[in-house]
Structure formats: structure tokens, C-alpha cells
């Protein structure tokens, strides 16, 4: 059952409407990521759920109740800010206890709950520190603890790991996933990092221009992007425009692709890793002939830029496969690794 639901919501800053007629529905207990480049509306969606942004049209439901105009402090959602937004004048204990005090929890209970939460995020013994005296990763944990100690049913996170270095990011995302599952919280996670979001999410919503392009499980999106935008987002390149003629799809130069469907135009696409490169000019279905333009050594692999009649394509091969510029080659699109998209993004 959906616990969070935006129904035909329009929202934005002042006259600048970022979300128009926006819909999303998030199931209880899931970790859902909103993925997209800056300005795609992912943070706006999150802030709308938190109540930081006024909804000009549409409705927002939490657990079946209309929360559209509910004040921020009455929503009871946890929120983790990109900047952490820790109170600089309060120490770690006071930061984490801040929300409990508002709920008029007894002193003894505050003590036990804060202490328990701090050890849970690995900060036992840091209670007296001020935020200014802590590292980025530690502050991140305080921010998490501060939100989680209230046992919220929903946790909203706005790029919580973007200010950390790469190693810490990996460590913290595992941590976040563990806490979310242990506590059975519904979480919405905003990020622009594809790897990060695919690794921890139950579902991913890829956003673009204030719309959701595709929302599904990471595995499904990874293998079956529905359009060129999401395909590019999950690493597909090498798009070949196809036109339908005599019941078959063929590229401009006449190569036939084994696509199914009825749309007059399609695009075939494949990841550089999945394309196969053969020396010389071969004919046949799903093959493009061309010449090597640039060879780049990537360490584990060689990357070749190949010029064909359809355009330039990138192919990654094993590091011991060597071609020189201007060598004639044939690119083969393996059927099981090739996807077909319909739009013209």
C-alpha cells in the first residue's frame, strides 16, 4: 500500500514552477531514490513532501491522510539535509535530543534513547562534541541519528552523502540501508549519483524536467530502460536510428536490426562494454562496418572510437585486443544486450 503519494502536484519557488501535474506513489517500508541531474525536480519533490515548499495545485497524502497543507512540524517526517544542518550551538547529545524535548519525553528516556541511537550510528562517546569539532562523516551520522531517534515512519534524505569523500560514501550508504531496513522506515533518497542509488534502493525514479521518466527496481531499469533518456542515464550509448520498412527495421545504411514492434522509428542502443568488435569488414544482421578513429587505453580495457556510416560509436574491448587508427572493423550488436527505444530525446 502506498504510504506517500503526490497526486497531480504543482509546486516550485515563487513564480518558477518546477513540478507540474506531478505524480508519485511510494510503498511502505521501501527505500525509493529520486535520481536525476541538477534542476530535474528531485529535491523539489522531496522538499514538497517535507512541507518546505507550498503546493499550488494537487494533493499530498501520507498514509491516506491529506497532508498537503499540514505544517512542517506536524508531519513527523525525518529529514536529512545535504548540509546536515546541525545546530552549531548545541553539542551532539543536544542535537539528537532536540526533537525528543519537543515531544515532552522524560529526561531519563531522552538519555537512554539518545545514547542508544548514538551507539547505533557508531558515535558512542561523542555526546559532548560540538558539530564544528567533527569530521564530515561524523556529522552525517549525527544528522541521521537526530532524525531517526524520533522513530519517524518516513525518512527524507537530500543528497546526504554528496559532501563526503568516495570511500566514506560507500561506507555510509551501506549504513543508511542497514538502519532503514532494521527500523522498517519508508525512505525517500535524493541523489545524482547513479551507482549510489542503484546500490541501496528498492526502487529508483529517474527524473527529468520535473517529470518521472521511469520508476522501477534498479535491476529492471538497468536492463530495460524505457526511453533514450533513461537508457543514457544507465550507461547506454551508441544509438542507431532505425526506420521500419517492409515489416523490418533497418539503419540508414541498410543494416537490418531484429527489433519487434510497429512504431515507424526506433533506436537501437548498446553499452560500449557489450558491443563486439571484429577485424575487417563483415556483412550481416546487426553489424555496422567502420574504421578505428581513436584508441584509448583504459587500464583493464581498450576503448575504440569507431566511425561508421551511421556515425561514431564507442566500443570497449579486452586490453589485449589491439587495433591501429584507420583499421577496418565491424561492430556487432549482440541481440540479448541490445535495447530499442521509441522516443527522440
Partner 1 sequence: MRKRWALVLCAPGIVFLILCCAWPVLRIVLQTVYDDTGAVSFAGYAALFRKSFFTNSLTRTLRLAAITTAVCAVVGVPVSYYISRMSEKRKSLAISLATFPLLTSAIVRSICWIVLLGKKGVINNLLVGIGLIDRPLSILYTETSMLIGYIQLFMPLMLLSLVGVMESIDDELLQAAQTLGCPPVLAFIKVVVPLSVSGLITGGMLVFTGTMTAYATPSLLGGTKTKVLSTLIDQYANINSDWVSASLVAVVMIFFTVLINVLFTQIAGRLNRRQSA
Residues making contact with partner 1 (CB under 8 A) = 50-52, 71-73, 75-79, 81, 83, 85-89, 98-99, 102-103, 130, 132, 146-147, 150
Count other Cβ atoms within 10 Å, centred on residue 263: 14
The helix-helix angle for 107-120 and 92-102 (nearest 10°) equals 130
Name the residue nearer to partner 1 (CB basis): 7 or 70: 70
User: Least distance in Å: CB of 221 to partner 1?
Assistant: 30
Q: Which residue lies nearer to partner 1 by CB, 87 or 335?
A: 87
Report in angstroms how near the CB of residue 186 gets to partner 1 at its nearest.
Answer: 15
Smallest gap from residue 108 Cβ to partner 1 (A): 20
Which CB sits closer to partner 1, 87 or 265? 87
Question: What CA–CA distances, in Å, run from 215 to 26, 36, 139, 190, 262?
Answer: 10, 12, 31, 14, 24
User: Which residue lies nearer to partner 1 by CB, 176 or 287?
Assistant: 176
Secondary structure element (H or E) that encloses residue 230, with its range: helix 228-233
And the C-alpha cell for 236?
547506454
- Measured from the CB atom, is 88 or 299 closer to partner 1? 88
Q: Are 315 and 331 in contact (CB under 8 A)?
A: yes
Q: How many Å apart are CA 216 and CA 199, to the nearest integer?
A: 14
CB of 151 to partner 1, least distance (A): 12
- Number of Cβ within 10 Å of residue 185's Cβ equals 21
Q: Compute the least distance from the CB of residue 262 to partner 1, in Å.
A: 50
Closest approach of partner 1 to the CB of residue 131, in Å: 11
Cβ-based nearer residue to partner 1, 2 or 130: 130
Tell me the C-alpha to C-alpha distance, in Å, between residue 106 and each of 91, 127, 153, 224. 19, 18, 22, 52
Amino acid at each position: 500500500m502506498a504510504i506517500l503519494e503526490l497526486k497531480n502536484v504543482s509546486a516550485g519557488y515563487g513564480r518558477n514552477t518546477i513540478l507540474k501535474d506531478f505524480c508519485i506513489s511510494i510503498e511502505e517500508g521501501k527505500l525509493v531514490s529520486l535520481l536525476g541531474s541538477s534542476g530535474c525536480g528531485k529535491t523539489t519533490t522531496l522538499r514538497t513532501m517535507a512541507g518546505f515548499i507550498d503546493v499550488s495545485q494537487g494533493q499530498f497524502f501520507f498514509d491516506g491522510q491529506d497532508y498537503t497543507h499540514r505544517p512542517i512540524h506536524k508531519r513527523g517526517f525525518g529529514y536529512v539535509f545535504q548540509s546536515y544542518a546541525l545546530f552549531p550551538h548545541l553539542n551532539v547529545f543536544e542535537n539528537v535530543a532536540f526533537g525528543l524535548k519537543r515531544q515532552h519525553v522524560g529526561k531519563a528516556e531522552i538519555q537512554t534513547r539518545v545514547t542508544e541511537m548514538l551507539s547505533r550510528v557508531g558515535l558512542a562517546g561523542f555526546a559532548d562534541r560540538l558539530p564544528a569539532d567533527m569530521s564530515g562523516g561524523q556529522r552525517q551520522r549525527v544528522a541521521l541519528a537526530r532524525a531517526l531517534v524520533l522513530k519517524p515512519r518516513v525518512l527524507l534524505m537530500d543528497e546526504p552523502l554528496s559532501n563526503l569523500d568516495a570511500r566514506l560514501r560507500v561506507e555510509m550508504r551501506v549504513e543508511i540501508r542497514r538502519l532503514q531496513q532494521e527500523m522498517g522506515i519508508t525512505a525517500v533518497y535524493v541523489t545524482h549519483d547513479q551507482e549510489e542509488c542503484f546500490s541501496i534502493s528498492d526502487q529508483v525514479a529517474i527524473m527529468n524536467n520535473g517529470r518521472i521518466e521511469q520508476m522501477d527496481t534498479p535491476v529492471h531499469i538497468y536492463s530495460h530502460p524505457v526511453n533514450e533518456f533513461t537508457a543514457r542515464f544507465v550507461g547506454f550509448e551508441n544509438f542507431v536510428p532505425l526506420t521500419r520498412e517492409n515489416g523490418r527495421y533497418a539503419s540508414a545504411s541498410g543494416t537490418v536490426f531484429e527489433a519487434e514492434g510497429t512504431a515507424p522509428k526506433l533506436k537501437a542502443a548498446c553499452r560500449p562494454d557489450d558491443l563486439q568488435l571484429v577485424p575487417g569488414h563483415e556483412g550481416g544482421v546487426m553489424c555496422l562496418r567502420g574504421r578505428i578513429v581513436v584508441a584509448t587505453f583504459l587500464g583493464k580495457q581498450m576503448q575504440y572510437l569507431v566511425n561508421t556510416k551511421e556515425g561514431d560509436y564507442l566500443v570497449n574491448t579486452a586490453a589485449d585486443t589491439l587495433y591501429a587508427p584507420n583499421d577496418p572493423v565491424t561492430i556487432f550488436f549482440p541481440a540479448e544486450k541490445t535495447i530499442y527505444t521509441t522516443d527522440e530525446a
